[in-house]
């Protein structure tokens, strides 16, 4: 987090940087080479990983009056500032940048007038980054947002909720007020005032947590000064939350492994991320609240294991961050590969088409390791049975013949024991062996030799209904 405080000499504003795993670290002042007296004093921004700072300055070299600059954090040292140059900066005043978490879209204000403390005659622009890393020519946001003096844009972590300030929209509480607009199907909604934080004074500079629950703004504190304060967003204004998934992709010796990381939105069946880990094996991706995702990590080498994991971000409570460390290796006897993306159509042993991608990876792995065989295990926690088909899930039928006796009276009126055959029908949902066979059949179509494949199925009752789960694994065998 970047923040300003009046802890400088004679109460001057100083810019500081802090970070946290749990508690905030002791703030460190940003070097005066970056925090100069000819900076626009507010409207700083950080990249999502906290490694790049964006700021507004009139310090040479500049194209116009005020330009947008950036500086990078290398370890504990900030680099010298770099001018973003054209087309972001122009011969007028450009400032208060804000970037989407993926760094591909920038929002900023372009103003007729600007000095160290204020700006006037501003419009909000945005620009998208081209595949070659260059920025497109900036474009204005709609007239419903740019009403004459719109400033200090702050794009939320969801990339679709924009908070900005203006003193040219009817019905303000006074001075600069804060407004929110949401991007839906390529169109920005009409701005709505943030009346839960707007005051009769100027309200401009805010930020928000990635989960989108709290707005961070200065507000009068207990000691008659201003303090950084969190305000709970009303539900109708709340941005969608963003969860960060991070970790390392390594081999068993903790050395980085060349690999590919991809994420698919399971609801829309669209790819939302594709990339590679850093040189040290570290990676991170951002997942937007409101849908389900599949993350896959695939090695460059065909004889190494792969990894996949699902994330469900449709509940009311999601984590702000989840760490997933991944080990990729040449498989050996006893290794288990959980096949999270293998699914069956409801109440059946028919593979869902979405399973094919992961099963093709397993086929690739099996063919690249001819010294091993693989046992396909399908394990059901949630076995159910009944004497009638009381649930659509009870698709399997077992018919047993039971020899029994009952008392009868013969033609002479004598009591005797008569043998009879009863038929007992049991309906149940144990399809594990049939499902394992379906997986084996698919792998055979991919060129895996039948003698390299085995199957195993097992079903047990679930202690609690919510614990019902189907687990599918491939276990390497000698």
pLDDT at 73: 96
* 114, 65 Cβ separation under 8 angstroms: yes
CATH number of domain containing 280: 2.60.40.10
Cα angle vertex 323, ends 319, 324, to 5°?
125
How far apart are the C-alpha atoms of 96 and 92, rounded to whole Å? 14
Tens digit of each residue's pLDDT, the chain (478 residues): 999 998 888 888 899 999 988 899 999 999 999 999 899 988 899 998 899 999 999 999 999 999 999 999 999 999 999 999 999 999 999 999 999 998 999 999 999 999 999 999 999 999 999 999 999 999 999 999 999 999 999 999 999 999 999 999 987 888 999 999 999 999 999 999 999 999 999 999 999 988 899 999 999 988 778 999 999 999 999 999 999 999 999 999 999 999 999 999 999 989 999 999 999 999 999 999 999 999 999 999 999 999 999 999 998 888 888 999 999 999 999 999 999 999 999 999 999 998 999 999 999 999 999 999 999 999 999 999 999 999 999 999 998 877 777 777 777 777 877 777 777 899 999 999 999 999 999 999 999 999 999 999 999 998 887 889 999 999 999 9
Residues 400 and 307 reside in one and the same domain: no
How far apart are the C-alpha atoms of 274 and 254, rounded to whole Å? 23
How far apart are the C-alpha atoms of 310 and 352, rounded to whole Å? 16
Helix, strand, or coil (residue 437): helix
- Total H helices, total E strands in the chain: 2, 35
Give a yes or no: residue 446 inside a domain.
no
Residues 141 and 248 reside in one and the same domain: no
Residues 216 and 272 reside in one and the same domain: no
pLDDT at 258: 95
Give a yes or no: residue 41 inside a domain.
yes
Selection from 275, 280, 227 nearest residue 251 by Cα: 280
pLDDT at 403: 76
How far apart are the C-alpha atoms of 203 and 169, rounded to whole Å? 14
| CA separation, residue 291 to residues 90, 172, 314 (Å) | 40, 36, 5
Give a yes or no: residue 370 inside a domain.
no
* 322, 284 Cβ separation under 8 angstroms: no
Residues 220 and 246 reside in one and the same domain: no
Last residue of a domain, one of 266, 300, 330: 330
Number of structural domains (the chain) is: 3
Tens of pLDDT, residue by residue over 351-374, are 999 899 999 999 999 999 999 999
Residues 184 and 257 reside in one and the same domain: no
Give a yes or no: residue 8 inside a domain.
yes
For 418, the domain range is 385-428
Give a yes or no: residue 478 inside a domain.
no
pLDDT at 171: 78
Residues 39 and 180 reside in one and the same domain: yes
Selection from 111, 50, 59 nearest residue 82 by Cα: 59
pLDDT at 316: 80
Task: Tell me which H or E stretch contains 365.
Answer: helix 356-368
How far apart are the C-alpha atoms of 252 and 273, rounded to whole Å? 26
pLDDT at 356: 94
Last residue of a domain, one of 232, 267, 285: 232
Task: Tell me which H or E stretch contains 374.
Answer: strand 373-381
Residues 214 and 251 reside in one and the same domain: no
Tokens, residue 85: 């140059």
Give a yes or no: residue 194 inside a domain.
yes
DSSP assignment of 152-211, as one string? EEEE-TTSSEEEEEESSSTT-SSSSEEEEEEEETTEEPPPEE-TTT--SS----EEE-TT
Task: Tell me which H or E stretch contains 438.
Answer: helix 432-445
Tell me, rounded to whole angstroms, the distance of Cα 274 from its chain centroid.
Answer: 13
Selection from 275, 198, 39 nearest residue 2 by Cα: 39
Residues 220 and 307 reside in one and the same domain: no
DSSP assignment of 78-123, as one string? EPPPEE--TTTS-SSEEEEEEE-TTS-EEEEEEEEEE-SS-EEEEE
Give a yes or no: residue 21 inside a domain.
yes
Give a yes or no: residue 91 inside a domain.
yes
CATH number of domain containing 208: 2.120.10.30
Residues 320 and 212 reside in one and the same domain: no
Residues 303 and 174 reside in one and the same domain: no
| CA separation, residue 379 to residues 137, 192, 335, 357, 462 (Å) | 56, 52, 17, 21, 12
**Residue 168 φ/ψ, nearest 5 degrees:** -125, 25
Fill in the DSSP letter of residue 135: B
* 273, 285 Cβ separation under 8 angstroms: yes
Residues 57 and 190 reside in one and the same domain: yes
Residues 99 and 129 reside in one and the same domain: yes
CA atoms lying within 13 Å on the CB side of residue 16:
16
């Amino acid at each position: 987090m970047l923040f300003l405080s009046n802890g400088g000499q004679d109460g001057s504003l100083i810019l500081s940087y802090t970070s946290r795993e749990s508690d905030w670290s002791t703030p460190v002042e940003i070097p005066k080479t970056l925090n100069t007296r000819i900076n626009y004093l507010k409207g700083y921004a950080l990249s999502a990983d906290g490694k790049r700072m964006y700021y507004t300055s009139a310090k040479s070299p500049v194209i116009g009056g005020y330009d947008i600059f950036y500086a990078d954090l290398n370890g504990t040292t900030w680099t010298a500032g770099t001018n973003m140059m054209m087309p972001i900066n122009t011969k007028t005043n450009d400032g208060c940048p804000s970037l989407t978490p993926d760094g591909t879209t920038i929002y900023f204000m372009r103003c007729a007038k600007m000095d160290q403390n204020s700006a006037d005659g501003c419009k909000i622009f945005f620009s998208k980054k081209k595949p070659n890393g260059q920025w497109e020519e900036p474009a204005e946001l709609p007239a419903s947002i740019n009403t004459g003096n719109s400033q200090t844009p702050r794009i939320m972590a969801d990339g679709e909720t924009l908070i900005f300030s203006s003193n040219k929209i009817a019905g303000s509480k006074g001075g600069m007020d804060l407004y929110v607009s949401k991007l839906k199907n390529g169109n920005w909604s009409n701005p709505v005032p943030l009346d839960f934080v707007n005051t009769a004074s100027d309200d401009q500079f805010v930020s928000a947590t990635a989960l989108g629950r709290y707005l961070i703004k200065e507000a009068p504190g207990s000691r008659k000064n201003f303090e950084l304060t969190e305000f709970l967003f009303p539900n109708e204004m709340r941005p969608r939350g963003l969860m960060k998934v991070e970790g390392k992709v390594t081999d068993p010796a903790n050395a980085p492994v060349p690999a590919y990381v991809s994420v698919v939105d399971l609801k829309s069946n669209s790819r939302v991320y594709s990339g590679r880990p850093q040189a040290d094996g570290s990676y991170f991706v951002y997942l937007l609240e409101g849908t389900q995702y599949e993350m896959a990590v695939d090695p460059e080498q065909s004889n190494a294991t792969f990894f996949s994991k699902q994330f469900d971000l449709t509940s009311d409570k999601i984590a702000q961050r989840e760490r997933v460390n991944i080990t990729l290796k040449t498989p050996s006897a006893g290794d288990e590969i959980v096949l999270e993306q293998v699914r069956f159509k409801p109440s059946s042993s028919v593979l869902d088409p979405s399973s094919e991608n992961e099963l093709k990876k397993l086929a690739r792995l099996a063919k690249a390791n001819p010294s091993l065989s693989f046992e396909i295990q399908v394990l059901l926690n949630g076995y159910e049975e009944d004497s009638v088909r009381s649930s659509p899930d009870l698709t399997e039928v077992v018919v047993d013949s039971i020899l029994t006796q009952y008392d009868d009276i013969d033609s002479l009126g004598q009591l005797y024991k008569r043998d009879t055959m009863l038929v007992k029908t049991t309906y149940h949902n144990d399809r594990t062996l049939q499902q394992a066979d379906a997986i084996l059949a698919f792998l055979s179509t991919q060129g895996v030799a039948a003698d390299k494949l085995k199957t195993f199925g097992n079903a047990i009752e679930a202690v609690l209904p919510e614990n019902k789960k189907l687990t599918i694994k491939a276990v390497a065998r000698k």
